[in-house]
């Protein structure tokens, strides 16, 4: 049996996030929702429900506007991280999970030196990914893309998005397919996807994640 971890980015959404939560509850799956800070006020109840149901809540920048590889000034980087962490308050996981905005799922340069330093000083855990099937742009085809991406991974950490109902209508069947293929759902993250853990840098930081 192989392990897989699901995660959801770019929410919360007042309709899509509860829809996803219903599916996860039916299947008994716990996961992590990485929150865009400026969306939180409009759908905080959905994130509160996720937290109450045992899902972990992480930080996915304040505006999701520019990857740090494209804009590395200190004020922007610190604001993107700190404003969301403050807005999350008690919803945030104690390990202070942060996922950078990759831009079309790119890992290269997802962090820059300023961001990496700030996350380390703040005791954050930086959670990356190893499978991004593009559900935000291919609402119907993403399950097949996901199955292709994960087939040779020892422990996939899949990025989905709780922002589009058309895409998430395939989630229930996708989960069923994974169970049929003997995947076991984990809430924990594969160590290879942690760039920083509780403020301590990991080996993956030397592999092109930090932009020069």
From residue 37, alpha-carbon distances to 6, 12, 24, 111, 134 in Å are: 20, 9, 23, 18, 21
CA dihedral 121, 127, 130, 133 (to 10 degrees): -130
pLDDT of residue 121: 97
Report CA dihedral (56, 59, 63, 69) to the nearest 10 degrees.
-130
Fold of the domain spanning 2-211? TIM Barrel (3.20.20)
Query: pTM of the predicted model, to two decimals?
Result: 0.95
Contact 14, 36 (CB under 8 A): no
- Residue 119, SS3? helix
Does position 203 have pLDDT exceeding 90, yes or no? no
**Residue 69's pLDDT is what?**
87
Coil, strand or helix: which one is 198? coil
User: What is the domain partition of the chain in residue ranges?
Assistant: 2-211
Mean pLDDT of 95-119: 90
């Amino acid at each position: 049996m192989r392990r897989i971890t699901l995660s959801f980015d770019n929410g919360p959404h007042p309709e899509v996030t509860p829809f996803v939560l219903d599916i996860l509850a039916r299947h008994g799956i716990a996961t992590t929702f990485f929150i865009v800070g400026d969306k939180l006020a409009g759908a905080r109840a959905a994130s509160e429900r996720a937290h109450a149901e045992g899902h972990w809540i992480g930080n996915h920048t304040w505006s999701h506007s520019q990857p740090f590889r494209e804009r590395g000034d200190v004020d922007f980087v610190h604001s993107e991280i700190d404003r969301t962490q403050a807005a999350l308050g008690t919803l945030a996981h104690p390990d202070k999970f942060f996922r950078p905005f990759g831009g079309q799922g790119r890992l290269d340069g997802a962090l820059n030196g300023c961001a990496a330093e700030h996350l380390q000083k703040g005791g954050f855990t930086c959670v990356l990914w190893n499978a991004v099937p593009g559900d935000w742009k291919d609402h119907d085809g993403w399950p097949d893309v996901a199955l292709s991406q994960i087939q040779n991974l020892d422990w996939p950490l899949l990025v989905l998005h709780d922002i589009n109902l058309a895409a998430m209508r395939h989630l229930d069947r996708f989960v069923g397919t994974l169970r049929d293929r003997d995947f076991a759902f984990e809430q924990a993250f594969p160590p290879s996807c942690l760039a920083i853990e509780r403020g301590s840098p990991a080996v993956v930081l030397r592999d092109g994640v930090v932009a020069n």
